[in-house]
A = this chain, B = another copy of it.
Amino acid sequence: MDENKLGGHYLQKYNEELETLRNRVLSMGGLVETQVANAVTALATADLALADDVIQNDVRVNSLEVAIDEHCSEILARHQPAASDLRFIISIIKTITDLERIGDQAEKVARMAVHLAEKDRPRNQYADVRALGEKVTRLVHDALDAFARMDVETAVNTVREDVSVDRDYETVMRQHITFMMEDPRTISRALDVIWAIRALERIGDHARNMCEYVIYLVRGKDVRHITLDELERAVQEGREMAGGKKRAPGQGEG
């Protein structure tokens, strides 16, 4: 190891760099959250201009992903971080992939909003889609919040919320299948709605992924591919083992 690495100046610069990285992720996350909220509003209110904004803005989300990805590679190459900082950077590489895909799904919702704006509206005026969309937007917000504060509790609660989103999605889905069966002339509209709510459900899944990276980062325990019950147990065990003490990865420990 280069002796400079232990120097105060070097360490300060390194910490600043990790902090910059974290802020870039949060600012990308803020943009993505707005994209989701706007796509949902555009669909619910048949606002074509807003839908078009969302579609145009997706390119900004994409370039943020590429830029942050490169920033991560640079930090890895330049500082060769170890331990929890390394995990922090790997989590960011994964997080921005999910954020970018949330952006893609928001764009899809906006495209469906454009299709649907030309069609008759169902009797519920898309109140169900809007409610689902708002819940999903909150999920993205909470996942980012969990990331910003490295807060395992928020992360676990958000994963739990996603399970409830999946249930709501099934309900809304069945509702629109019923509309379609009652009146086959609405099949084409119903399919657009189904694509939109499918996209919302996938956004929830990506938010869930982000929360799982936070849990992995703080607890060092890989929680992908386990059930919610197992997850809660794992986090509980982690809390007991850690004796309640909080760590903040990505704060220049590496």
Report which A residues bind B (CB closer than 8 A): 59, 62-63, 65-66, 69-70, 72-73, 76-77, 80, 82-83, 86-87, 90, 93-94, 97, 177, 180-181, 184, 187-188, 191, 198, 222, 224-225
Instruction: Report yes or no: A66 in contact with B184, Cβ–Cβ below 8 A.
Output: no
> Is B76 within 8 A of A76, CB to CB?
yes
Q: Known interface pairs A76-B76, A181-B184. Does A225 touch B90 (Cβ–Cβ under 8 Å)?
A: no
Interface of A (DSSP majority class) = helix
- State in angstroms the CA–CA spacing of A87 and B62 once bound together: 19
Q: In the complex, A138→B70 CA distance in Å?
A: 31
Instruction: Tell me the bound Cα distance from A9 to B62 in angstroms.
Output: 43
Which residues of B have CB within 8 Å of A97? 94, 97
Residue from B82, B181, B188, B224 in contact with A77 in the complex, judged by beta carbons closer than 8 Å: B82
Can you list 18 A-B pairs, Cβ within 8 angstroms, ordered by A? A70-B222, A72-B90, A73-B86, A73-B90, A76-B90, A77-B86, A80-B80, A80-B82, A93-B93, A94-B97, A97-B97, A177-B187, A177-B188, A177-B191, A180-B184, A180-B187, A181-B187, A184-B187
- How long is the Cα–Cα vector from A80 to B62 in the complex, in angstroms? 28
CB-nearest residue of chain B to A224: B66
A177 contacts which chain B residues (CB < 8 A)? Answer: 187-188, 191
This protein's copies in its complex: 2
Write the nearest CB–CB distance from A23 to chain B, whole angstroms. 21
Task: State A90–B198 Cα separation when bound (angstroms).
Answer: 30
Q: Which residues of B contact A59 (CB under 8 A)?
A: 225
**Are A90 and B93 in contact, with the CB atoms below 8 A?**
yes
A62–B93 CB distance below 8 A: no
Which residue from chain B places its CB closest to the CB of A183 in the assembled complex?
B184
Q: Is B76 a contact of A225 with CB atoms below 8 Å?
A: no
Please determine whether A69 and B187 come into contact, CB atoms closer than 8 angstroms.
no
8 pairs of A and B residues whose beta carbons are closest in the complex: A80-B80, A62-B225, A184-B184, A66-B222, A77-B82, A181-B187, A77-B86, A76-B86
Contacts of A86 in B (CB 8 A): 73, 76-77
A66 CB, nearest partner CB in chain B, Å: 5
**Cα–Cα, bound, A89→B249 (Å):** 22
Chain B nearest CB, measured from A187 CB (Å): 6
